[in-house]
Structure 1
């Protein structure tokens, strides 16, 4: 799923990234929080599976609040619902506003949260491969 979602939104996974499920059915919530914190401290792009369900609504909110301690509120975020299916939806937003898209968040959704190098260019979420000093990349305003 992360490769399908990545292909739809640009190239957000060009460097290291972490994948975390918000489902606490098999993994205790405190362990999930510990993993998200470690990924945030390491400045990883974070891919989130199972961001919320009808019964699980606080996990993504709590995760976003934790990430705001480590990342700018302007950090790019992609929400992909039902990738490559008939009712596919893609939203590019930022860490501050990601929870405004409740209708896009569910068990068929994947959320990709950028790191300090991620930016949006021409409607695509980009994470450069470390060639910043070699090539000039223009960021969208």
Structure 2
């Protein structure tokens, strides 16, 4: 097995494998469902569950989500229909190169990636700073 390296933007982790980054401590077999508070927008109850095929997007989810503890990346399995995530695809990356999706159906946790590498501290700081600026300007609203 190769050594884990920093995630590459737009690079599919493994064809047909879906990932979800969070700080939640989940077990194999648990379901990620709608109706829970957003990992990114305090006080917002989510109508969708979000996931991706890229390690980069999952890593951002694990690093930036609210909550205590370390970020985690889970391998998930959709249980129903899903669509491209308009928060990313329509607003920032037309054509969905981030391979980001959302669903109203549960996602089943089927595994966890444990040897992933996060973004360098300076990139993480820059992303947090950019998100704080968006929040202050009212531009970080989730289209849910």
TM-score interval, smaller chain: under 0.3
Higher relative helix content: 1
TM-score using structure 2 length = 0.26
